[in-house]
């Protein structure tokens, strides 16, 4: 009996006010008098599951791509490897057109029909570059003080590339350049930048 009484919900009372009636809830069912001043942020429920990115069939390793956005837009680069979530690992090579090893979103490239032979490239170097923490910036240990900030007439310090990155770039470019030089006019094709003029129809072009 005691268990049943504990499980029962407290009943509300009905009171008459003039001609009408009003239901008054039990004191345990009444709203709280105190509310937080700021709304508590609740995490948004995401029902959609993250699906693995499916690369386009034209984006095969070794194919030459045209970059459509970013610092090197209009440049032609060589696709080395597919990374997760639709990201591509590309290179210029750096000696050919100044584009270093970098990651590019697959949505902002145009795939061409021209391909470069990737034979002879050290796969260990490519795997090392494709790692998740390879492109993270190093944290600065020394902070700029007020005296250095207000100094005038001094040239700003140039960003120094780490020796490990430079050696990886040279290792990839060395084999790529030897394969590129075997094909006539391929080096000049990579050096040239892509641009559209008035009257050009990109949807009718053969890439």
The pLDDT value recorded for residue 1 is 47
Structure confidence by residue, pLDDT tens digits, 86-98: 899 999 899 999 9
- Rounded Cα distance, 77 and 156, in Å: 30
For residue 69, which phi and psi values (nearest 5 degrees)? -150, 165
> Alpha-carbon distance 164 to 169, whole Å?
9
- Supply the pLDDT for residue 150: 60
Three-class DSSP labels, 26-40? CCCCCCCCCCCCCCC
Angle among Cα 44, 45, 51 to the nearest 5 degrees reads 115
Residue 93: Cβ-neighbour burial (10 angstroms; 0-12, 13-18, 19+):
buried
pLDDT at 74: 92
Ranges of residues in the chain whose predicted pLDDT is under 70: 1-9, 30-32, 139-161
| Beta strand pairing call for 102-105 and 87-91 | antiparallel
CB atoms < 10 A from the CB of 197, how many?
Answer: 5
- At 191 the pLDDT is 93
Which stretches of 48-206 are DSSP H helices? 94-97, 123-129, 146-149, 163-182, 186-191
């Amino acid at each position: 009996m005691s268990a049943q009484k504990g499980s029962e919900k407290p009943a509300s009372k009905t009171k008459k006010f003039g001609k009408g009636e009003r239901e008054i809830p039990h004191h345990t069912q009444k709203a709280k008098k105190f509310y937080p001043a700021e709304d508590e942020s609740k995490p948004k429920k995401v029902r959609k599951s993250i699906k693995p990115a499916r690369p386009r069939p034209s984006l095969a390793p070794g194919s030459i791509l045209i970059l459509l956005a970013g610092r090197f837009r209009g440049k032609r680069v060589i696709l080395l490897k597919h990374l997760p979530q639709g990201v591509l690992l590309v290179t210029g090579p750096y000696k050919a057109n100044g584009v270093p090893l970098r990651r590019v979103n697959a949505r902002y490239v145009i795939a061409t029909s021209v391909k470069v032979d990737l034979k002879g490239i050290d796969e260990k170097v490519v795997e090392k570059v494709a790692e998740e923490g390879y492109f993270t910036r190093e944290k600065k240990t020394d902070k700029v003080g007020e005296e250095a900030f207000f100094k005038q007439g001094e040239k700003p310090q140039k960003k120094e590339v780490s020796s490990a990155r430079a050696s990886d770039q040279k290792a990839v470019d060395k084999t790529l350049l030897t394969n590129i030089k075997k094909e006539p006019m391929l080096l000049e094709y990579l050096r040239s930048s892509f641009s559209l003029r008035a009257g050009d129809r990109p949807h009718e072009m053969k890439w």
